[in-house]
Amino acid sequence: MEQALLSVSGEASAGKDEIWSSYQYVGRSASVHVPSSAVAGEEVSVDEIRSASVFSNSVYPNSIHGALLSSPESDHVAHSPDQALVSQDMYGRGQYGFSSKEFGRQILDEVEIRHLLINHVGHQFCWGSLPARTWKIVSIEDCNVYVGTLETFIEERETVQAIEPYLGGEVEEKNRGIEVGVWEIDLRTEFPLLFVPFKETRAKIPHSEYIEKCSGCDGRGEIACPTCNAGQESGYYKPNQMTSCSSCHGRGLIAHQDGSDTICKNCGGEGKLPCVTCGSRGLVKCQSCGGKGSLISSKIALIRWRTLSTRKIAASSGAASVPDEVFHKARGVQLYNSQAYQCTPAFFADSIHLNSFSSQVIAERSPIPPTARVICERHVISVVPVTRVTMSKNNRSFGFYIIGFGREIYIRDYPSKFCWGMCCCLEWFKI
């Protein structure tokens, strides 16, 4: 198995205590973010990656640019020490066998629930507040949702050919050195922060330049004028080609109504004008080589860093009607956070369902492009507290969800909406 790109400090016993204390801390946190010092799966800094090259002959550490080893291992395989193996002994059984704990529940009374709904309705255009204020709350149900993510940070490199006019100067030709491969270029100064969405840069490959004659002008630097020498054979042109004056139609004189003629001021009485493109030289500067007659060709390395994301939701039937994107944006609590070259499924001592859920996320990792290599991965399992509330009046009812520690409201079928933007403001004053 590849060595993970992580730095785990401390003795084994101290590290175990740190993992336990950090997990207890996470269990009481109301934030999505887990401090890097609080988990064993700590983020790898750019300095670590750059400094690691001192101990390796390659530009980056050996483990940073290897291909994926294999498909995800089974839950019974021993996990690498860089991954936080969290015991769930202090957690009770939740829905569908998933582990849960009291921290995952939102303790809300009816007054607070109604206040959250009224505040949400007040920010919606053309929604009336009467149902939110007067309808009866008939049920409050906890239906927590588990969110699994796998982020794969990759680096792509490909070669493109660049051709530009040769303006003179020294050329890094192949006979002056060895042309390095695209993956041998040192880009440590350009390396971005891990898991950035996207970054692109270009670098010239050393000793890949060569000079060639411009094929457009055959090395002359000039080509036949496309205006006055259109249709000429390649390499031939006719100078002094004139065009008829449009003012006097080639007469050189301008006729007046009284029958008199005057000399055409546009052509000076010549009746012809020189070519507006080349001045009747018959030649114009070659745009391909800029009039130099030579081109310099070189290989350019195009490098892209980007993060591929795999996201999965494990929700009970009570929350199945909520779009997955709502849960991905909600604030929850991390149960597991691991960062390594290749993440393996999480291990929860008392929850085979969470283990299976983690394995499904790992198994659905994004495919790696053939021109890319994996830098590292990050695997996170989080729980998002969700409360489903049902309200009714007479024979009508509707439901909504309070999601995450931000207590965002999601409601799809609110019973008091007004069409075509015709908002009835008096609805707010009904008792």
What digits encode the pLDDT tens for the residues 204-230?
Answer: 998 888 899 998 888 889 989 988 888
426 versus 144: the higher-pLDDT residue is 144
Confidence (pLDDT) at 73: 33
Where along the chain do its domains lie?
157-214+296-303, 222-285
pLDDT at 24 over 90: no
218, 283 contact by CB (below 8 A): no
* Stretch among 267-271, 362-366, 386-390 having the lowest mean pLDDT: 267-271
Q: Cα separation of 167 and 165, whole Å? A: 6
Q: What pLDDT score does 175 carry?
A: 75
> Which residue(s) pair with 390 in the sheet?
139, 399
Alpha carbon distance 248, 15 (integer Å): 96
pLDDT at residue 64 above 50? Answer: no
Provide the pLDDT for residue 157.
Answer: 95
Looking at residue 105, its pLDDT comes to 58
Looking at per-residue confidence, does 286 or 98 come out higher?
Answer: 286
Give the pLDDT confidence score for residue 170 in this predicted structure.
85
Read off the pLDDT of residues 160-212 as tens digits, 9 standing for 90 and up.
999 999 988 888 887 778 888 999 999 889 999 999 999 999 999 988 888 99
Average pLDDT (402-430) is 72
Confidence of residue 410 (pLDDT cuts 50, 70, 90): very high
* Contacts made by residues 391-395, CB under 8 angstroms, sequence distance 24+: 391/131, 391/135, 391/136, 391/137, 391/138, 392/135, 392/136, 392/138, 393/131, 393/134, 393/135, 393/136
Owner of token pair 């898991």: 195
pLDDT of residue 419: 52
66 band by pLDDT with thresholds 50, 70 and 90: very low
Determine if the pTM surpasses 0.85. no
279-285 mean pLDDT: 88
Across the chain, mean pLDDT equals 76
Q: What percent of the chain has pLDDT over 90?
A: 40
